[in-house]
């Protein structure tokens, strides 16, 4: 079995916990205000500054460099979304939550280990290119956002998404990994899911408190 398939199979139960999150369920059901949605966009902003910062630092790396795609960087898209949701003063309005600070610290901590970087990159970007597209369509129905601000985070200028994901999986399969390293990456991916799910859990508590 190629590593992409192994990784997916080994972490799919973690995906189910992430997908099952109460905040995402409320969001998809249209039960949250624009500001409550904006809180997730704000947390994405801090997480992707870290992730894309790690990518920039690894651009020439012989192994991790295969997973550096400048066309995926999210900072500018997130700034457009935050400006649309909170207005031009968005940066005074947002701060990283405790779980986001933990996620960011972990991304920074493992950024000098190609497998660790790949684990976090895979968990976020392959998700944004998969379920994220469904999330975007729901958000557009609920809040009426068009491309240009609001849901730009989910728009990628990479042509065919399925083709890009196939290429991404091909690169995962091409990694030269022994069994111990495969297991380490799987463990880090499970942790990445957990840390991302904790960010959502915190957003859910915030949204319930505000309701
Ligand atoms: C409403 C919430 C979500 C839905 C409906 C959803 C749905 C999906 C679906 C249908 C796929 C498979 C697509 C394909 O085979 O090409 C997928 C893949 C994926 N999702 Fe999600 N997802 C959600 C949330 C999340 C979250 C919160 C994360 C991460 C924090 C995530 C990470 C991933 C990853 C990494 C993959 C790629 C798995 C692989 O093929 O190796 N998803 N998602």
Residue with CA at minimum distance from ligand 1 atom 43: 131
pLDDT of residue 47 exceeding 90 = yes
Looking at residue 210, its pLDDT comes to 83
Distance from residue 131's CA to the centre of ligand 1 (Å): 4
We report the CATH number of the domain holding residue 8 as 1.20.910.10
**1: exposed, middle or buried (C-beta count within 10 Å: 0-12, 13-18, 19+)?**
exposed
Looking at residue 209, its pLDDT comes to 86
Q: What percent of the chain has pLDDT over 70?
A: 100
> Which among 6, 15, 162 is the best mutation to test ligand 1's pocket, defined by most ligand atoms within 8 Å of the CB?
15
**CA nearest to 171, candidates 67, 48, 17, 38:** 67
Looking at residue 15, its pLDDT comes to 98
Taken in order 102, 105, 110, 114, the sign of the CA dihedral is positive
> Which among 3, 126, 131, 173 is the best mutation to test ligand 1's pocket, defined by most ligand atoms within 8 Å of the CB?
131
Residue with CA at minimum distance from ligand 1 atom 14: 130
What's the whole-number average pLDDT of the chain?
Answer: 97
The string of pLDDT tens digits covering residues 154-195 is: 999 999 999 999 999 999 999 999 999 999 999 999 999 999
Cα 152 off chain centre by: 14
The string of pLDDT tens digits covering residues 110-128 is: 999 999 999 999 999 999 9
Q: Which domain holds residue 203?
A: 3-210
Report how far residue 200's alpha carbon sits from residue 194's, in angstroms, rounded to the nearest whole number: 10
The two structure tokens encoding residue 164? 């890009």
Report how far residue 207's alpha carbon sits from residue 30's, in angstroms, rounded to the nearest whole number: 13
Report the predicted TM-score, pTM, of the whole model to 2 decimal places.
Answer: 0.96
> Do residues 196 and 91 lie in contact, with contact meaning Cβ atoms separated by under 8 Å?
no
Report how far residue 92's alpha carbon sits from residue 137's, in angstroms, rounded to the nearest whole number: 29
Q: How many domains does the chain have?
A: 1
Annotated binding site: 8, 15, 122, 169
């Amino acid at each position: 079995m190629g590593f992409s398939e192994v990784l997916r199979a080994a972490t799919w139960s973690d995906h189910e916990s992430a997908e099952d999150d109460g905040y995402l369920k409320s969001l998809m059901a249209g039960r949250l205000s624009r500001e409550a949605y904006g809180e997730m966009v704000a947390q994405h902003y801090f997480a992707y500054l870290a992730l894309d910062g790690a990518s920039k630092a690894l651009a020439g790396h012989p192994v991790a460099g295969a997973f550096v795609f400048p066309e995926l960087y999210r900072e500018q898209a997130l700034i457009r979304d935050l400006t649309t949701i909170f207005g031009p003063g968005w940066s005074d309005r947002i701060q990283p939550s405790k779980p986001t600070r933990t996620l960011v610290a972990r991304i920074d901590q493992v950024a000098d280990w190609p497998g660790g970087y790949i684990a976090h990159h895979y968990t976020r970007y392959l998700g944004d290119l998969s379920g994220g597209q469904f999330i975007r369509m729901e958000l557009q129905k609920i809040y009426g956002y068009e491309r240009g601000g609001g849901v730009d985070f989910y728009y990628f200028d990479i042509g065919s998404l399925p083709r890009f994901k196939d290429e991404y999986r091909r690169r995962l399969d091409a990694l030269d990994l022994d069994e111990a390293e495969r297991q380490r990456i799987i463990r880090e991916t499970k942790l990445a899911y957990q840390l991302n799910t904790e960010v959502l859990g915190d957003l859910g508590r915030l949204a319930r408190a505000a309701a």
